[in-house]
């Protein structure tokens, strides 16, 4: 049964529309603030595409967002809302930094061990929430949010402890060079970006692996089944508790890995937080723009990373960089509305056809 | 039905053949190129019960939606009480005295009966709603037509039968003279059905006309004066119900002869497959719902569990399939203990089931047909290797099932389950469960909401499993279904088996008596 492709049925066009509206709303606000939107957007564009170096920077920025986006998208597939990616990201960073500081290992092996530690830490952080959900029926959204704060203060506590803290700044010491995921000097010279690292590659590999798990494996089959209908899954003999546990642990693992990619690649250390850094929360945005599609997360993560990076340049034209946040917020808002809009468009453009079909086939 | 003798409205005709209430002439309704209604004529007289019979998707609902103003006809005309009218929308239909009671009730659960009836048409006293006068008017209507309701009860607390009476009152309250009842008995118990038939009689006594949309033949022969048959959008015939029998109606509806009698070859039941001993269970409120139930199903036997809804049937099936835990008792399959085991363990031991709620339990509605067909078996060697699904094996299996079980449309393996019609959804489940071919097959209300053709299909496969030497437990609220299929009928009442009758010796009245809590020796 090949059906005619209906553009209103896919998500792409709505996402595109939401992005356009996001920029329009941003432009209006810029005008209200007395800034010429064309100048601001011009500098945003320049800041992202103006130089090869900027593009590479955007990719570097994007890597952690892709991973937290994947984390949230994966949880959505099982019908869980991982608002705890923030905390999982933090414990992941912490685990990576600690292993990077205190363990001596040769290069290549060292960052892999750091990342494994981060993945395990994130998986535990998410898994405990899952355990509380299935054993005690505690709503995961509440515990996720509390776990975010626990991670936040735990990190701040460790960062300023004597053995970890750097003497001159409010942050940990830099991890050992052997633990960094930076690319070779040759690449640094070629790209002009001193923090060019393997993060984006790792994130892309994770996205593809996740896509494979979700669409091709029995685990993915069970995850989606539980997400779509818990009752039918249980009737079919799938244990929803087990599935919730694995989904929440894997989701936490991805966010934790995001933390490792960020610290080992970009910063090399964790600073003391003054407020939540929001990598995890921004993962929600990335997942929503991607429509929870793992491959889509690569592109929405890139978009998000580029906007974050390019947004920094807005200050050069005296525009507040928060404009970027407003644009992203507006996009999410319209993507949410788009679901409603889509229902209307599909029913309008397909009504006649589908009536014909379903009636004929009865 | 239990009520055959009291409710032969068709014979005690109130029809006034001189006064035409509704006339639909040459109604054509097209959706794009597809003709849902192809020159359909319908004449309804005052005081008449007119049944509209057709398979799922035949165009019955489209026709009624045209009459109720939801759709505009492509061509054709409608006359109400002798005047040609254009019905732009439901408001206009109500103004013209047409009332529609939908299959799925549209009531506000936390509101009272009175509040629901007056919703949208509230009588006022100054600025406040005058509930007292509304209640008075409702009670008058209720008494006049025998529509017993408690005006102050909340909808969430009353039975399905009473909810339906509320829906009918809602329509009468707005002054309806012509009532459309869409599949009114689909969720009613036999008792409630007989009450409804009585109500229909009272309505026609008062000169109101009733259009009954249904695919249950028995209801037509019992309640209707005339019957119009629609097949694939085309008008087939309008017949006087007195002059035809059920077989004739059925073959007009599906366009071929339908087997009502299920062919069952004689086989001797084998050893006990399912053995339930002294089963006790509490429902979600903590109320004892199964009270020392004993039940046996042998190989090569269909045991029908008859009973009024709410006597523990659902809970028994949930316990037998592992979805609910029991308090105490013993359950074995071929001697293997399955008491309070998980659904997976029970399935692996040898129980498959056709669940009562196909959308909630039977299917993942947003999964494709092919994904749904492997719901319990995705982990087997046939469909996966090292945790990776074999897509080609899945497709091949789905193609086989679609062909063998006549799941329509052909080639629907990539379609989502929710895009299939109810009958075809049920076929997907039957295909899966029959192919699972376990020692015991449990079927709960397997034909609910299906048309005659699909019912015949479901029955055929239940009997086939029995003939293969499998044990079948059939739980159904349709007494006819129980009586025509079962080798042994067990009656459940208040969580216990209160009577047992051989299928071949079953008698409606006796079963009805047992189902209402009577003891066998008193009968």
The DSSP secondary structure of B175-238, one letter per residue, reads: T-SEEEEESTTTT--HHHHHHHHHHHHHHHHTT-EEEEEE--HHHHHHH-SEEEEEETTEEEEE
For residue B191, is it within any domain?
no
Query: DSSP labels for B310-323?
Result: TSSHHHHHHHHHTS
> Can you name the residues that pair with B493 across neighbouring β-strands?
B496
Q: pLDDT-derived band of residue B178, with 50, 70 and 90 as boundaries?
A: very high
The more confidently predicted of residues B438 and A356 is B438
Please give the C-alpha separations between residue B364 and each of B360, B383, B454, in angstroms, as whole numbers. Answer: 8, 18, 21
For residue A142, is it within any domain?
yes
pLDDT of A357 above 50: no
Q: Which residues contact B229 (CB under 8 A, 6 or more apart)?
A: B53, B54, B236, B237, B238, B239, B249, B252, B253
Mutate to test the interface with B, among A233, A236, A239, A355 (most CBs of B within 10 A): A236
Mutate to test the interface with B, among A218, A292, A353, A354 (most CBs of B within 10 A): A218
| 8 Å CB contact of B387 and A1 | no
Q: Are B516 and B377 part of one and the same domain?
A: no
- CA–CA separation, A62 and A44 (whole Å): 16
Which residues from A are below 8 Å from B55, CB to CB? 362
What is the tens place of the pLDDT at every residue in B15-51? 878 889 999 999 999 887 778 899 999 999 999 999 9
> Can you name the residues that pair with B340 across neighbouring β-strands?
none
| 8 Å CB contact of A235 and B409 | no
- Residue B345 belongs to domain with CATH number: 3.40.50.300
Q: Are A223 and A332 part of one and the same domain?
A: no
Which residues from B are below 8 Å from A231, CB to CB? 360-361
Whether the CB-CB separation of A145 and A118 falls below 8 Å is answered with: no
Q: Are A133 and A20 part of one and the same domain?
A: no
- CA–CA separation, B270 and B263 (whole Å): 20
DSSP character at residue A359: H
Chain B, window 69-88: residues with a beta carbon less than 8 angstroms from a chain A beta carbon: none
Which of A169-178, B50-59, B271-280 is predicted least confidently?
B50-59
Chain A closest CA to B517's CA: distance in Å? 32
Q: Are A295 and A330 part of one and the same domain?
A: no
The more confidently predicted of residues A71 and A346 is A71
What is the tens place of the pLDDT at every residue in B374-392? 999 999 999 999 999 999 9
Average pLDDT taken over every residue of chain B: 87
For residue A351, is it within any domain?
no
- Considering its fold, how many domains does chain A have in total? 2
| 8 Å CB contact of A359 and B34 | yes
Burial class (CB in 10 A: 0-12, 13-18, 19+), B44: buried
Mutate to test the interface with B, among A216, A231, A235, A241 (most CBs of B within 10 A): A235
Q: Are A107 and A163 part of one and the same domain?
A: yes
Q: Are A328 and A234 part of one and the same domain?
A: no
Range ranked top by mean pLDDT from A63-72, B215-224, B279-288: A63-72
The number of beta carbons lying within 10 Å of the beta carbon of residue A1 is 11
| 8 Å CB contact of B32 and A233 | no
Chain B, window 461-520: residues with a beta carbon less than 8 angstroms from a chain A beta carbon: none
Which residues from B are below 8 Å from A216, CB to CB? 388-389, 391
Q: Tokens at residue A95, please?
A: 């685990």
Q: Are B394 and B427 part of one and the same domain?
A: yes
- Inform me whether the C-beta atom of residue B153 falls under 8 Å from chain A C-beta atoms: no
Which of A239-243, B137-141, B282-286 is predicted least confidently?
B282-286
Q: pLDDT-derived band of residue A192, with 50, 70 and 90 as boundaries?
A: confident
- Inform me whether the C-beta atom of residue B323 falls under 8 Å from chain A C-beta atoms: yes
| 8 Å CB contact of A359 and B419 | no
For residue B432, is it within any domain?
yes
Note the pLDDT of residue B185.
80
Q: Are B329 and B280 part of one and the same domain?
A: yes
Residue B385: its H or E element? strand B384-385
Q: pLDDT-derived band of residue A119, with 50, 70 and 90 as boundaries?
A: very high
Alpha-carbon torsion (A239, A242, A245, A251), positive or negative = negative
Q: Are A121 and A11 part of one and the same domain?
A: no
For residue A97, is it within any domain?
yes
For residue B398, is it within any domain?
yes
Q: Tokens at residue B225, please?
A: 């004066």
Q: Are B385 and B451 part of one and the same domain?
A: no
ipTM confidence score? 0.80
DSSP-H helix ranges across B366-451: 369-372, 391-404, 422-436
Query: Of B410, B413, B445, which Cα lies nearest the Cα of B426?
Result: B445
pLDDT of B123 above 80: yes
Note the pLDDT of residue A348.
67
| 8 Å CB contact of B384 and A218 | yes
- CA–CA separation, B179 and B110 (whole Å): 26
Residue with tokens 């949410």: A336
Single out the residue in B437, B462, B477 at which a domain terminates: B437
Chain B closest CA to A5's CA: distance in Å? 14
Note the pLDDT of residue B494.
87
For residue B29, is it within any domain?
no
Percent of chain B with pLDDT over 90: 47
What is the tens place of the pLDDT at every residue in B320-339? 999 999 999 999 999 999 99
Note the pLDDT of residue A362.
39
Range of the domain at B407: 362-437
- CA–CA separation, A83 and A147 (whole Å): 10
| 8 Å CB contact of B361 and A231 | yes
For residue A177, is it within any domain?
yes
Query: Of A232, A290, A351, A354, which Cα lies nearest the Cα of B415?
Result: A354
For residue B489, is it within any domain?
yes
- Residue A297 belongs to domain with CATH number: 1.10.3470
Q: Are A218 and A327 part of one and the same domain?
A: no
pLDDT of A7 above 90: no
Which residues from A are below 8 Å from B376, CB to CB? 236-237
| 8 Å CB contact of B360 and A229 | yes
Which residue of A lies nearest to B450 if distances are taken between CA atoms?
A362
| Mean pLDDT within A116-132 | 96
Which of A22-26, A271-275, B158-162, B242-246 is predicted least confidently?
B158-162
Q: Are A82 and A215 part of one and the same domain?
A: yes
- Considering its fold, how many domains does chain B have in total? 2
Whether the CB-CB separation of B397 and B384 falls below 8 Å is answered with: no
| Mean pLDDT within B96-109 | 86
Residue with tokens 């054509």: B28
pLDDT of A190 above 90: no
Percent of chain A with pLDDT over 90: 54
Which residues from A are below 8 Å from B59, CB to CB? 359
pLDDT of B83 above 60: yes
Q: Hey, is B272 helix, strand or coil? A: strand
Single out the residue in B386, B418, B437 at which a domain terminates: B437
Q: What pTM, to 2 d.p., does this model score?
A: 0.74
The more confidently predicted of residues B103 and A4 is B103
pLDDT of B229 above 70: yes
| 8 Å CB contact of B421 and A239 | no
Chain B, window 404-443: residues with a beta carbon less than 8 angstroms from a chain A beta carbon: 408-409, 411-412, 414-415, 419-421, 423-424
For residue B85, is it within any domain?
no
Q: Hey, is B2 helix, strand or coil? A: coil
Note the pLDDT of residue A361.
39
Note the pLDDT of residue B453.
79
Q: Are A19 and A121 part of one and the same domain?
A: no
Which residue of A lies nearest to B361 if distances are taken between CA atoms?
A232
Q: Are A155 and A74 part of one and the same domain?
A: yes
| 8 Å CB contact of A217 and B388 | yes
Note the pLDDT of residue A164.
87
- Inform me whether the C-beta atom of residue B255 falls under 8 Å from chain A C-beta atoms: no
Range of the domain at A211: 52-317
Q: Are B343 and B488 part of one and the same domain?
A: yes
Note the pLDDT of residue A30.
85
Q: Are B520 and B420 part of one and the same domain?
A: no
| 8 Å CB contact of A356 and B361 | no
Q: Are A22 and A79 part of one and the same domain?
A: no
pLDDT of A353 above 70: no
Q: Hey, is B494 helix, strand or coil? A: coil
Q: Are B386 and B330 part of one and the same domain?
A: no
Q: Which residues contact B83 (CB under 8 A, 6 or more apart)?
A: none
Note the pLDDT of residue B245.
85
* Of residues A221, A237, A351, nearest to B389 (C-beta): A221
Residue with tokens 């013993």: B330
Q: Hey, is A146 helix, strand or coil? A: helix
Note the pLDDT of residue A347.
66
Q: Are B381 and B514 part of one and the same domain?
A: no
Note the pLDDT of residue A346.
67
pLDDT of B3 above 50: no
pLDDT of A140 above 70: yes
Which residue of B lies nearest to A231 if distances are taken between CA atoms?
B361
Note the pLDDT of residue A350.
53
For residue A45, is it within any domain?
no
Chain B, window 209-238: residues with a beta carbon less than 8 angstroms from a chain A beta carbon: 233
Please give the C-alpha separations between residue A255 and each of A205, A278, B248, B456, in angstroms, as whole numbers. Answer: 14, 12, 67, 54
Note the pLDDT of residue B33.
76
Q: Are B395 and B406 part of one and the same domain?
A: yes
What is the tens place of the pLDDT at every residue in B457-481? 889 999 999 999 999 999 998 888 8
The number of beta carbons lying within 10 Å of the beta carbon of residue A344 is 10
- CA–CA separation, A178 and A269 (whole Å): 14
- CA–CA separation, A117 and B512 (whole Å): 68
Kindly list the residues of chain A whose beta carbon comes within 8 Å of any beta carbon in chain B. 1, 216-219, 221-222, 224-225, 228-229, 231-239, 351-353, 355-362
DSSP character at residue A172: B
Burial class (CB in 10 A: 0-12, 13-18, 19+), B205: middle
Q: Calculate ∠ Cα A139-A142-A145, nearest 5°.
A: 145
| Mean pLDDT within A72-97 | 95
Q: Are A296 and A334 part of one and the same domain?
A: no
Which residues from B are below 8 Å from A229, CB to CB? 360, 363-366
Chain A closest CA to B457's CA: distance in Å? 15
Percent of chain B with pLDDT over 70: 95
Residue A20: its H or E element? helix A12-32
| 8 Å CB contact of B375 and A236 | yes
Q: Are B376 and B502 part of one and the same domain?
A: no
For residue A137, is it within any domain?
yes
DSSP-H helix ranges across B329-374: 343-349, 369-372
For residue A43, is it within any domain?
no
Q: Are B494 and B375 part of one and the same domain?
A: no
* Of residues A221, A234, A239, nearest to B378 (C-beta): A221
For residue A132, is it within any domain?
yes
Interface A-B, measured as beta-carbon pairs within 8 A, has a size of: 109
| 8 Å CB contact of B355 and A235 | yes
Phi/psi of residue A43, nearest 5 degrees: -70, -30
Phi/psi of residue A333, nearest 5 degrees: -55, -45
Single out the residue in B388, B415, B437 at which a domain terminates: B437
DSSP character at residue B89: S
| 8 Å CB contact of A232 and B362 | yes
Chain B closest CA to A347's CA: distance in Å? 13
């Amino acid at each position: 049964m090949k059906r005619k492709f209906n553009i209103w049925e896919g998500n792409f066009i709505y996402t595109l529309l939401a992005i356009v509206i996001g920029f329009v709303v941003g432009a209006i606000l810029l005008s209200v603030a007395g800034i010429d939107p064309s100048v601001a957007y011009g500098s945003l564009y320049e800041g992202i595409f103006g130089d090869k170096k900027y593009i590479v920077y955007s990719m570097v920025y994007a890597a952690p967002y892709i991973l937290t986006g994947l984390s949230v998208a994966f949880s959505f597939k099982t019908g869980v809302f991982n608002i705890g990616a923030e905390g999982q990201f933090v414990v992941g960073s912490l685990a990576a930094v600690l292993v990077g500081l205190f363990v001596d290992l040769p290069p290549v092996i060292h960052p892999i061990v750091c990342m494994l530690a981060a993945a395990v830490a994130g998986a535990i952080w998410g898994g405990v929430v899952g355990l509380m959900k299935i054993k005690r029926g505690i709503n995961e959204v509440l515990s996720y949010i509390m776990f975010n704060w626990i991670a936040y203060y735990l990190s701040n506590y460790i960062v300023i402890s004597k053995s970890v803290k750097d003497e001159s700044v409010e942050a940990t010491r830099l991890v050992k060079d052997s633990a960094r995921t930076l690319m070779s000097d040759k690449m640094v010279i070629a790209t002009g970006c001193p923090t060019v690292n393997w993060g984006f590659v790792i994130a892309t590999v994770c996205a593809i692996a996740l896509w494979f798990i979700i669409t091709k494996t029995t685990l993915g089959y069970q995850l989606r089944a539980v997400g779509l209908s818990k009752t039918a899954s249980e009737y079919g003999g799938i244990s929803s508790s087990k599935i919730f546990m694995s989904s929440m642990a894997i989701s936490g693992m991805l966010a934790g890995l995001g933390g490792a990619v960020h610290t080992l690649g970009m910063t090399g250390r964790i600073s003391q937080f003054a407020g939540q850094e929001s990598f995890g929360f921004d993962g929600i945005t990335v997942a929503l723009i991607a429509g929870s599609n793992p491959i889509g997360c690569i592109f929405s993560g890139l978009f998000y990373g580029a906007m974050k990076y390019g947004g920094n340049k807005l200050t050069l034209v005296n525009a507040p960089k928060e404009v970027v946040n407003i644009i992203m917020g507006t996009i999410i808002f319209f993507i949410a509305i788009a679901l409603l809009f889509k229902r209307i468009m599909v029913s309008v453009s397909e009504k006649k056809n589908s009536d014909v079909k379903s009636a004929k086939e009865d | 039905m239990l009520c055959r003798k009291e409710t032969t409205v068709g014979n005690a005709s109130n029809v006034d053949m001189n006064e035409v209430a509704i006339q639909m002439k040459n109604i054509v309704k097209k959706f794009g190129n597809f003709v849902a209604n192809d020159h359909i004529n319908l004449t309804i007289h005052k005081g008449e019960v007119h049944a509209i019979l057709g398979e799922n998707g035949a165009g019955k609902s489209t026709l009624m939606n045209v009459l109720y103003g939801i759709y505009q006809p492509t061509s054709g005309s409608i006359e109400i009480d002798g005047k040609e009218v254009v019905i732009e929308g439901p408001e206009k239909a109500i103004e013209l005295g047409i009332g529609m009671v939908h299959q799925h009730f549209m009531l506000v659960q936390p509101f009272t009966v009175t509040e629901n009836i007056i919703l949208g048409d509230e009588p006022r006293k100054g600025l406040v709603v005058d509930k007292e006068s509304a209640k008075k008017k409702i009670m008058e209507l209720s008494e006049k037509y025998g529509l017993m309701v408690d005006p102050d009860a909340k909808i969430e607390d009353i039975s399905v039968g009473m909810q339906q009476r509320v829906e009918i009152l809602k329509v009468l309250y707005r002054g309806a003279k012509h009532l459309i009842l869409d599949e009114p008995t689909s969720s009613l118990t036999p008792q409630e059905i007989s009450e409804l038939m009585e109500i229909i009689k009272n309505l026609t006594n008062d000169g109101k006309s009733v259009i009954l949309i249904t695919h249950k033949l028995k209801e037509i022969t019992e309640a209707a004066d005339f019957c119009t048959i629609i097949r694939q959008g085309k008008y087939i015939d309008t017949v006087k119900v007195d002059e035809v029998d059920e077989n004739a109606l059925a073959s007009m509806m599906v366009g071929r002869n339908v087997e009502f009698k299920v062919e069952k070859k004689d086989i001797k039941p084998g050893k006990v497959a399912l053995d339930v001993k002294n089963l006790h269970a509490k429902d979600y409120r903590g109320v004892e719902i199964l009270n020392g139930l004993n039940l046996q199903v042998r190989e090569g036997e269909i045991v029908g569990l008859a009973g009024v809804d709410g006597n523990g049937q659902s809970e028994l099936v949930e316990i037998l399939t592992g979805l609910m835990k029991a308090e105490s008792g013993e359950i074995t399959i071929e001697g293997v203990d399955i008491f309070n085991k998980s659904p997976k363990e029970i399935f692996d031991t040898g129980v498959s089931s056709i669940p009562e709620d196909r959308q909630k339990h039977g299917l993942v509605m947003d999964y494709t047909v092919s994904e749904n067909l492997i719901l319990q078996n995705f982990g087997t060697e046939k469909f996966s290797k090292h945790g990776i699904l074999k897509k080609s094996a899945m497709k091949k299996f789905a193609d086989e099932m679609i062909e063998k079980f006549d799941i329509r449309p052909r080639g629907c393996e990539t379609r989502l389950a929710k895009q299939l019609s109810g009958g075809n959804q049920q076929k997907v489940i039957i295909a899966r469960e029959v192919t699972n071919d376990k020692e015991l097959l449990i079927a709960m209300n397997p034909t609910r909401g299906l048309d005659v053709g699909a019912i015949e299909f479901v029955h055929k496969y239940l009997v086939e499993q029995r003939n293969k030497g499998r044990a079948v437990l059939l739980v159904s609220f349709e007494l006819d279904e129980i009586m025509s299929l079962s080798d042994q009928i067990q009656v459940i009442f208040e969580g216990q088996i209160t009577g047992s009758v051989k299928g071949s010796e079953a008698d409606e009245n006796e079963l009805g008596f047992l189902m209402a809590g009577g003891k066998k020796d008193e009968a």
